[in-house]
Amino acid sequence: MLPLDTAQECFTYLVTGPKPLSVDCRDLLGLPNRSVALDELQRLLMRRACPRRTKDVVWAQLIRRSRSEGATWTLACVGMALPALAHTTGWLAARYPDDPFDVHAEVLVGFLNGLATIDLDRPQVLIRLKWAAYRRGFAALTEALDAPTPVAPGFRSTPPHPPWGHPDLVLARAVRAGVLTRTEADLIGSTRLGDESVTDWADGHGMTPEAVYKARSRSEHRLVAFIRDGSSATAEADPVANAAMADAAASERRRQGRRTSLSVSGSSARSPSGTGKETSTAVSKGAA
């Protein structure tokens, strides 16, 4: 059984029975004015209508109890975060070449480390916890994909085979080179390589979709330049990276073409009155 599956079973136990583990939600905007069982509270906090300030207050309360009272409330925090952690582990495990148990465990360790160290006075507590978990899992993914492939006999070290040129590793190399931040790499990976929409990614990171589109475009421009700069060194050895580069470059050319077309159209629309007519007349006379 995977670690998060075990955590889900334990969380279910905490909220089952006549006295489920609860949090006092009185005077919290957007929540019932009573003690609320954790499974119900989890659903309420996931609603878009729930104020972000309320989410932060609840999470700060949960984490303080985890730090002061230990095991039960630490497990409660894990259970409350399971929807976010499941999304993170799903994305990482789909790309992980070894036993998914390992990457699930790393994500959970990252989350637990975050519980012990995260600053509760800053906003977006859960999002920062999710990122602590993701960074730990992503490091494990990168290490696994970078590792040499053992071959019999003797399992000697050999140059790695695909997926060493996996697009996720292209993103990882860009992060290590300082071309992209981890957030930008996750944005590109989740919305281009994964199945997460820009709207969902923006909502999960406290941004507007318009800002996310702009951020992704700027990040991809830098990524394309980075891949082009390294293309001569990888042209023969890394066909997957080459394919990723070609796709990114083609996408960039299409965007440039659309912008050029719109610019020309806009210039024509802003031409002084009569200019278009005079040009048309001149051409007609030349043809005649």
pLDDT tens-digit map of 164-211: 445 666 777 788 888 888 888 888 888 887 667 888 888 878 888 898
pLDDT tens-digit map of 74-99: 999 999 999 999 988 988 998 888 88
The residue among 164 and 230 whose pLDDT is bigger is 230
Q: Tokens in use for 171? A: 């993103």
Q: Judge whether residue 113 has pLDDT over 90.
A: yes
Overall pTM surpassing 0.95 (yes/no):
no
